[in-house]
Each structure stands twice: as C-alpha cells, then as structure tokens.
Structure 1
Amino acid sequence: MRARVARSLRVAMWAVLPGELALVVCLVAGVRIPGGVLLAAEALVVGMLALEAYVMWPLYAARRRAGDTRREAGLAVVRAAVPVALRRLIVHEFRALHSLGLWTVRRRHRVPEGPGRSRTPNRRPGSCGRSSSSPSSRPWCWPW
C-alpha cells in the first residue's frame, strides 16, 4: 500500500510543483487568478505534504526505534526518499541563495561624498598602466 502511495506521490510532485511554479509566475506578473484556483492549488500542496508525511513517518519512526537521534533519523529518511541528484541540486540552490544574500548585504548602496572619492574607488589617474605622455598607446584605458 505504501509503495503505491509513494509512486502516486512522485507523480503528484511532477504534476503539482510545475503547476505551482506557473501559478507563482502568474501572480508575480500581475495576472488576476480566481480565488477558487488559488484555493485548489494550496489544497493540492497541503495534500502532497500530507502524503509525504504518510510515506516518511514510518521510516523515521523505525530509525528512532533503532536508537538514532532525531537528526540522524531525519537525515536517513531524506537519504532513503530523495534521489541523490535532487539532493545535490537542492544543496546547490541553497548555496547559490546564500552567496546572493551575502552579496546583497555587503553591497554599498551609495558612494561616499568628499575629496578623492569617485564612483570607481580603485581608479586613480594612470592606474591602468599607461603613461601620461602616450594616451593612445592603450585605447582600452579611457582617461576619466
């Protein structure tokens, strides 16, 4: 019975998740979605989560009975239920989001005012290695 439910869960995930993604894209684009469609989409997502809990709970409980900690049991269940390629993709996405967040937090929003400050703080006169006597020797080094 659980094997059949697990198979139907995989089929539901392949059907519901792209639909949910399309719905999110429509909402972000400003398309008006009827309330019934939103309610049905959320009901499908909640149903999928309930099916996942139904399939994964016995695996988790068996690992806990075997003496694993909560963390070890949860990791074992994820290893058993989620394919390796999907786990690698998820880890990659989390790392990419983490680096994007760090880039966003550390970014300067305004250029400070004052003498010697410019929009490009590493540019100084002659910083690209050209001599002031021959400006046309390196055309890629602009004089600003």
Structure 2
Amino acid sequence: MPFVNEYISPEDAARYHLAEIDASCRSGGISRQWTIDREQDIYLRILSRGLEAETKHEGVWSFHWKGTLVTVRLDLLDGKGKPGQPGWSHWLLVRLNGTSGLPPALGPYKRSVIESLKQALLAYKDAGVLSGNTDYTVTLDIGRECVL
C-alpha cells in the first residue's frame, strides 16, 4: 500500500505516542494530519513551520521510519501547482535529528530512508489531505551541512 494523506485517528495518535512528541515540540500548531504508509510503518507529519516571511518555508517534521522516530528539518525551496492541476515542489533536507543525523541503527538503510522521505513528500504534495493537485513531482536535495 502506498503513502496516503489522512487525518490522524485517536487510536493512531495513541499507538504512535503523538501526544508525547507534541509535548516536546515548541509549536502550538502541530498538524492533525499525516502522510502514512501503513504496510511499511512509515509516516511523515509536520510539527512546526516558520512564522515570519523569511522563515515560512522552513519546517520541522516527525518522520517515523519502521519503528524509529527521526526529526527532519525540511525547507521548501519552491513549488507550483493550482488545485485540479499538476504541481511540483523542490525541498531541501537541512537536518536529521538536529545535527546528529540518522540513529546508528538506520545507518545501513540510509538510501531507503531518504527514498521513503521523498515518496512521503510526493504523496503529501502541497498540503497533505488538503492538496488539490493532480499529478505531482518532487525534488529532494540534501543540504551540504546535513549529516546523514
């Protein structure tokens, strides 16, 4: 089953301990939706976005990859697409787990983790459950300072 965008059920919130994740986040606008692949046990969920004009394209996300939670800083560099039309977005992976990179247990799966992140962003499109785009493409670059 591929990634899908959906609102988070109370049962899923409890299963993935989202209240604990939310409590550790300083943002008050944590998303109640996610992009999830249930078969692979992978989800992507926005935790916070920049509030100022110069930071509004910066975001911190929780990325649960097969039992391991990773905090991801993604910056939206550009994107286009109106509802009912194809769209695209260009993302920059700035940081994983702050500046420490992937947990050691995920080291051997680095390529798979990054590919899963790209596939989740592709399904997320421009707004998750609120996305109105039809076809979509994603470019995901890895920042020079990003430790994998």
What's the TM-score bracket when you normalise by the shorter of the two chains? under 0.3
Which of structures 1 and 2 has the larger relative contact order (alpha carbons within 8 angstroms, sep 6+)?
Answer: 2
> Max radius of gyration: which structure?
1
Q: 1 or 2, which has the higher helix percentage?
A: 1
Q: 1 or 2, which has the higher strand percentage?
A: 2
* TM-score, normalization by structure 2: 0.25
